[in-house]
A and B are shown apart, each in its own frame.
Chain A
Amino acid sequence: MKKYIIISVIALSAIFNAQAQGSKTITYPTALEINQAQALWFNTSNAAGMIVTPLNNYNTLSVGYNVKNGEYRLQQEGNQQALKINTSGATNLGKARLWGEFTYQNITETDTRYNTTMLDVVPDMPYFVGDPNISYWKKQSYNMSVKAASPVLWDLVAFGASANYFTKNGAKQIDPRSESFKYGISVEPAVVFTLGTKHSIGLTFLYLNSFERTVPVNSNNQQDQIAYIMRGVGNYTDGVVGSLSGMGTFYYKTNKIGTSLQYNFNGDRSALLAEVKSSFQVVDVFQTPTKPRRMGTTAQMLMGGNIQYINNGDDFTSKVTLDGYHKNNNGIEYIQEIDATYEVQQWVTIAKFIRSRYVFNAATLKFDLYRNSDEGYDWMAGAQGIFSDRTDEYILPHSTFTAKNVYGELFGKKNIMAGDNSVLIGINAGYNFNLGGGYDYNGAEPTSKVVKDLYERDNAILCANYYQVGLDIKASFPIGKSTALYIAGNCQYLRSNDTMNDNLYACDNDGSNFRWEYKTADLRNPSQRVIATISIGFTF
């Protein structure tokens, strides 16, 4: 499979590059940014709309190294180092439009806890295996996306489709360890109807299928390892990895369908695009493929929408984006028993109930202002506000995990031209203000590590005030008629020394041990996190 992916990527790059030869000048980072902001349809689910507001032709290829380090993080997240190779491009194919992207990542995560099996830990999936051992993961991922749009036919309609294929594998490196594999594919056919020159409406249908398989094992096969079979909001069943009776292979089967509807108004200088979308996703979790036992199911309904408004002036371009969604995820658990009949020997479902609910609401309002220039923009400034409201609930025994936050940020960038060279310098500063939240556990194990070390600490992190500042630099150097080399670096610094409910989000003086309980000021350092990226690449 890997070789087909690599061949596809090379072919994709070659096609894009061949299409682009001799037709353009240097693509500066600022030009790419403002072009993506102006391509309103590109920022929706509708690929066919690319024909209405097309991206300019471009190609990029980059190699980057990402670091995430520091104690201000969720327990399962750990610290991270990642090598990332990315290529993307947009081009014409006859009168059609084509866009593609491929990303490869090689990731090392250290100091992770309470995740024995999952390649990606997400709040939407309460059914996984965790263990208290501090561990590290090695992961690789391949992600390929394409969007295609036909020309407008009969002055009325354009067809398109987007597709994504990803595969990810990884292994946890400390007992209890696991070897995990995941793949997924999604396709989203799309159509756009143009109603005159100013109005268009679009429609898409989404189908996604994904599968993940993970095998928990021990290297030391004479030392069983404690594990927790998680069921949500701190509830779990005791488990063991290793021995004849240890946990079997876990696997996740995902199907998702969705639809979206768009309306676009294109004025002389301004444009508006509104989108509403919904999707429904079911993930079934099983253990032991040869005698499948249901570990749970999640059924998720998502409804959301976004509005983009852009004004293209002679000197300035401004854009307002409003995005929001509501996600309702039900956790279903099963009562099962073994049918012990000699010929059958299988788990049979006796009853099933919704045992937990996970509701997430989020809204983002963003404003960008660009000072136009020949290279894209001379400077830009903006602000954004993000509201998020998470409510996890285990119905019986009743427990809740909530966190409500609002984050505000100001940002700006300045492009400095030195001959044909460009240096884009950006800064950002933001503050997260917690509006409320808490963890109220009423299950059977109130003093367990899962409750104390995982959920209480994670809730403390998610309910903390913190500030974030960042610096972004991207230097671009032309090395040919239409090719530029760029070097980019980005660093974000988060810091919280907040206290709430006697919890202190701080670490020991040596920086080694994150503390959530109260400590006196002389024994602590503020909890902080650094997220840094450095990359080198080409635009051509």
Chain B
Amino acid sequence: MRKYILLVLILLTAVSCEQFKDIQNVDAIAQIGANVSVTTTTVAADVPRPDSYVVKFTNYDDKYEVSSKTDANGKVAVNDIIPGKYTVTVSGEIAYKGFTYYYSGSLTNINIIESGKSYNVDVVASKAGSLILKEIYFNGASGYYFKDQFYEIYNNGDEVQYVDKLCIGNILPTTASTTTYEWIVPDGHPENYIYMASVWQVPGDGNDYPVKPGESIIIAQGAQNHHALRPASPVDLSGAEFETFIVNQTVNPDNPNSINMDLRVDFNVFGTQWLVTVFGGAYAIFIPEETIDNTTWVTPKGSSSKAKEVLIETVIDAVEIVNNATKITQKRMPTSLDAGATYTGATYTGKSVSRRIREVKEDGRIIYWDTNNSTEDFQVNPQAVVRRDGVGVPSWNTWAK
């Protein structure tokens, strides 16, 4: 017995010693400095550059933000950083020959813990005019109702866009978590892709579904008047342009007016509807260069999860939605597509996320924020609204009320 007591005492002492050793030589926190240089290596030489860029350091854990402007050479030194994990976002814009060019770039989840380190952010330029995911209603309504999910895609630019062949889907992992995947792809460059769990595609031959500047389309999980079916639901989706109707099932009815999307990748589509997690998915819209081959897929190391790889360069817009603020550091979408994340914080509340208004043109057309950082670009709405802000309905939609 005595030797066991002695052994226990030795073990306890060893454990406590380890605990005491861990906290030796821990310094008190102090502010540090960091240098950032902004480069434009992938931007064509004939595209004009802004005079300066805004560099923002965001520490989501501490809710701490430092912002500064670069000099004309794209360099800035910031001295009041609290050591921690930061997302560094760079933005800039310049008006040139009637167009506005938006520059954006970011570094996500970098550890800034030593003073004097330098960081390079390579920015990309985009002309205003792309289709954007304007509003996403994913978290369902009271009573565990989730059939009223919808996605609104808006023409934020100056030219007519055709949504024929436009794809929408969500990537893996379906929910933000500490679980991550090491994808294995044929070309050996997993960093060039996002990995779709499901993909739906708008039919059409290339000019069937025009969307004018200031107009939007609604993609409904089910194009029904959900508010009438379930009063807790905030939306009537019977006028939706498209719906993700699952064929060969009778549980959810088909709205004959709404155009059915084509299910191209169904690795994460189960049962009678396209249900993306009410905790918030990571969504992308893109137009594939070729027909999607759903007989091939990729899997991550050590997992049987299937996904369709999609080249990042074909993605038009992407939005990361996470469960709550604590999950922002567990985002899934590559930072080149979305440097941040947005969230509603709870499920089955009828809340949605939508882009913030950047400006209203003289003709009343609204331009929304699109800096590829959904933390900055999006707002949380107490209730989802179809075509918020009174944006336009495409002329070919004759059934919308």
A: which residues have CB within 8 A of B?
207, 209, 222-224, 226, 229, 235, 237-240, 243-245, 253, 255-257, 280, 282, 284, 291, 297, 299, 330, 332, 335, 337-338, 340-343, 345, 347, 350-355, 395-397, 443-445
Contact = CB atoms under 8 A, between A and B. Distances in A.
A354 B62 CA distance: 14
A335 B84 contact: yes
Nearest to B330: A338
B63 A445 contact: yes
B363 interface: no
Interface string B12-48: 1101100110110011111100000000000000000
Contacts of A341: 182
Contacts of B13: 207
A355 B61 CA distance: 13
Given A245-B176, A354-B27, A354-B28, A222 B348 contact: yes
Contacts of A340: 180, 182
B248 interface: no
B324 A335 contact: no
B323 A257 contact: no
A129 to B, nearest CB: 12
Contact of B16 (A207, A244, A342): A207
Interface of B is mostly: loop
B326 A335 contact: no
B178 A338 contact: yes
A234 to B, nearest CB: 12
Contacts of A222: 144, 347-348
Nearest to A284: B19
Interface of A is mostly: strand
B16 A332 contact: no
Nearest to B25: A352
A152 B19 CA distance: 37
A355 B26 CA distance: 10
Contacts of B323: 240, 243-245
A347 B109 CA distance: 14
Contacts of B347: 222, 224, 243
A83 B131 CA distance: 67
Given A282-B23, A335-B111, A240 B85 contact: no
**Size bracket, chain B contacts:** 35 or more
14 contacts: A222-B144, A238-B326, A240-B346, A244-B323, A253-B19, A256-B16, A257-B20, A282-B23, A291-B178, A337-B111, A342-B300, A347-B178, A353-B29, A353-B83
Interface of B: 12-13, 15-16, 19-20, 22-23, 26-31, 61-64, 82-85, 109, 111, 113, 144, 175-180, 182, 279, 300-302, 322-327, 330, 345-348
B324 A240 contact: yes
Contacts of A343: 302
B29 A243 contact: no
A397 B64 CA distance: 9
A298 B326 CA distance: 22
B23 A239 contact: no
B83 A223 contact: no
A350 B62 CA distance: 16
A297 B111 contact: no
Nearest to A226: B345
B119 to A, nearest CB: 16
Contacts of B302: 342-343
A353 B15 contact: no
Contacts of A353: 26-29, 83
Nearest to B64: A444
A239 B82 CA distance: 22
A335 B28 contact: no
B113 A257 contact: no
A223 B31 CA distance: 40
Contacts of B113: 335, 350-351
B279 A345 contact: no
B182 A223 contact: no
A169 B108 CA distance: 42
A354 B26 CA distance: 7
A256 B179 CA distance: 35
A397 B66 CA distance: 12
A239 B343 CA distance: 12
Given A243-B323, A342-B182, A332 B23 contact: yes
Contact of B29 (A224, A238, A396, A444): A396
A130 to B, nearest CB: 15
A350 to B, nearest CB: 5
Given A244-B279, A256-B16, A332-B23, 19 more contacts: A209-B16, A222-B144, A224-B347, A237-B326, A238-B325, A243-B279, A244-B177, A245-B177, A245-B279, A245-B324, A257-B16, A282-B19, A335-B113, A337-B111, A351-B113, A353-B27, A395-B28, A395-B29, A396-B30
B111 A338 contact: no
